[in-house]
Chain A
């Protein structure tokens, strides 16, 4: 058997959702003598049992990574349901990236169509929130915009001032208050079910620590605009349109101050 065929066969057996024995029953790529014709078995362990060691290692190594990446989601559904969730997930989204931390990237998408999300409709959003926390934690570095840099901007130049969000910034649209569920998990208070409530979350990083907070009206649209690079004037317009109150100038000034304090804007402005 060629090396490529041998490796493909072992891959199928190791990742068979029902285990190696079940995988062998379904396997069509075996030689006439079966697995023992390829792999040495002995009195201590049959060839099938030896492959099963790798099958166990594959599943439990990835389960451990996903347990860590989605700790609050795990706390909500419990060990058994999470184990079964990961079994289905790995069959639907087998890891392709070299970095194992990427193995759980699609779990939020998988959860959206999963029965667990029917019983707890906030679950996929909670997982997406946890994934965003991980992404922000290891997002690209870069200098954040500081207040001193804005001091030199002439009054007439503010509207055309180019701004962009820092690479370690995510904005999530949510239908459920999943940050409260996560906070209850973090505090060890026992996870509380998320209440329904449309809102947006800002996730950002400062001094290597990840922070999150609920956004005010118009703030999410403004920051989304700034993700591709925009002008301060355009950001003001979307905030003004969303709020429509007389105090919009004061609101924008306050929001700009909070973004700078949290390192949300990049010092590398787009051209």
Chain B
């Protein structure tokens, strides 16, 4: 399949709006919480699942997803599309993701603005790209191709990072904004990642948020990180810190009460403890006129 011009691809895709504001506050569904969620049907607006964990042939994971989907909106969040890589997109992977999307009818599909491997090998990590006009063009064309295979618009997430390239010609927020515009896709704004990068690379987090095109921001992520002394590490194993909550309040006021997700992957607490963070997000969304979930 050849690369499709973004504008042409967009016309053939579902463009009926994201409906993101109505979802309110949700949680990332993790295996350790399957039992609690299925037994208690907790009061959360929606669940986000890691797409690749459910790109299996069968068995319990898919059964759990079907049961959760029966009661909640679900978003598929991928970590392996490698939209910024140099080798061709993995069409088998995209078709598998399309099958999963057909099966669970997610509110939307998201992945990261990054590369994850080279030479047919996978690092299973999210690596930053040089912020250049050439990279914008390269990534936007790949997002357009992915959107065409998937038959729907993608939502791309800003990543946390620990290095910057000398060849970068623009700020990170300019890069995110230009890629999203060129690819005509949505943005998942990870507030913790902005905070981590602002500390690691020395920029103003609020300036980043202020420069986001509000009409494209579909979702927020909230998570915890660790202070490693000379840098912050995006670990998703801690509660959300006060600075990130304050940044979230600024983002909600500036952009609007879009769907918000509590993202916790390690050092998982009992589900009710996560519900307290969901409630804290819900209060802030409601204060801005959102559904709260």
| Chain A residues packing against B (C-beta within 8 Å) | 1-4, 6-8, 10-11, 14-15, 37-40, 44-45, 47, 49-51, 53-54, 57-58, 61-62, 94-101, 103, 137-142, 167-168, 205, 208
CB distance from A99 to the nearest CB of B (A): 5
Closest to A49 in B: B230
Do residues B117 and A11 form an inter-chain contact, with CB atoms below 8 A? yes
Assembled-state Cα–Cα distance A100/B58 (Å)? 17
- Residues from chain A with Cβ under 8 Å of B63 in the complex: 208
Q: Which of B113-152 contact A (CB under 8 A)?
A: 115, 117-125, 127, 129-130, 134-135, 138
Do residues A168 and B58 form an inter-chain contact, with CB atoms below 8 A? yes
For the complex, count residues of B whose C-beta is within 8 A of A.
42
Assembled-state Cα–Cα distance A97/B124 (Å)? 9
Assembled-state Cα–Cα distance A39/B55 (Å)? 35
Do residues B86 and A139 form an inter-chain contact, with CB atoms below 8 A? no
Assembled-state Cα–Cα distance A100/B56 (Å)? 12
- Residues from chain B with Cβ under 8 Å of A97 in the complex: 122
Do residues A138 and B80 form an inter-chain contact, with CB atoms below 8 A? no
- Residues from chain B with Cβ under 8 Å of A57 in the complex: 125
Closest to A99 in B: B52
CB distance from B133 to the nearest CB of A (A): 12
Q: Which of B124, B167, B233 has the most CB of A within 10 A?
A: B124
Q: Which of B158-166, B184-192, B212-220, B245-253 contacts A (4 or more CB under 8 A)?
A: B158-166
12 contacts between A and B (CB under 8 A): A6-B165, A15-B123, A38-B167, A39-B164, A40-B163, A58-B123, A61-B125, A95-B124, A98-B80, A139-B58, A167-B57, A167-B58
Do residues B57 and A140 form an inter-chain contact, with CB atoms below 8 A? yes
Do residues B123 and A96 form an inter-chain contact, with CB atoms below 8 A? no
What would 18 more interface pairs be, CB under 8 Å, given A11-B117, A40-B164? A3-B129, A8-B118, A8-B119, A11-B123, A37-B166, A40-B166, A45-B230, A49-B230, A50-B162, A53-B162, A53-B233, A95-B124, A96-B120, A101-B53, A103-B122, A140-B58, A141-B62, A167-B57
